[in-house]
């Protein structure tokens, strides 16, 4: 079992290094993934709510209600997990991985960009099911965080999982509100 865990950790480190090097050496890749990361900043979700409000006020109210429920679970869980596990960011112990964007906090697991973009994606798809292509956004947000050197792949995957759980809880509670 230890060999498997060691293998997975090494594989994750190699992926982190190689993807980070790609952005470090290519300005187009760097700026592309900076833009993707920017779309998953916390305050952008307020902006997305305003856009939906302009499109359809009735649907926007329901999206916002569901979002408030999901994020009410998300942020406490996110901070408890992050400050309990205290996983160091990839660039901290690996001099070959460059931090290409300022992280919002000290620890790595889970990726808040991945989890928050997952919640928002699933809420939007609940009310606007024709926007199916949006489903790739959480994966791109997570990948951007790996490429920019602030997360490991497992941080992004766990963030997506956390976002799904928080969305699902809100999906169950929302009709009762």
Known catalytic residues are: 113, 151
DSSP state string for 17-39 = HHHHHHHHH-HHHHHHHHHHHHH
Distance CA(173)–CA(161), nearest Å, equals: 19
Judge whether 113 and 141 are in contact, CB under 8 Å.
yes
Q: How deeply is 37 buried, as exposed, middle or buried, from its count of CB atoms within 10 A (0-12, 13-18, 19+)?
A: buried
Distance CA(99)–CA(88), nearest Å, equals: 12
Please state the length of the chain: 177
């Amino acid at each position: 079992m230890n060999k498997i865990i060691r293998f997975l950790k090494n594989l994750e480190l190699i992926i982190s290094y190689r993807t980070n090097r790609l952005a470090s050496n290519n300005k187009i890749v760097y700026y592309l993934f900076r833009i993707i990361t920017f779309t998953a900043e916390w305050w952008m979700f307020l902006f997305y709510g305003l856009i939906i409000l302009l499109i359809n006020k009735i649907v926007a109210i329901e999206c916002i209600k569901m979002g408030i429920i999901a994020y009410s679970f998300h942020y406490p869980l996110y901070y408890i997990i992050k400050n309990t596990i205290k996983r160091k960011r990839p660039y901290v112990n690996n001099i070959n991985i460059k931090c290409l964007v300022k992280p919002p906090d000290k620890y790595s697991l889970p990726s808040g960009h991945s989890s928050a973009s997952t919640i928002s994606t699933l809420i939007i798809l609940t009310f606007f099911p024709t926007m199916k292509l949006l489903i790739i956004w959480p994966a791109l947000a997570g990948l951007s965080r790996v490429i920019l050197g602030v997360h490991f792949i497992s941080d992004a995957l766990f963030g997506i999982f956390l976002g799904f759980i928080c969305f699902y809880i809100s999906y169950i509670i929302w009709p009762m509100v």
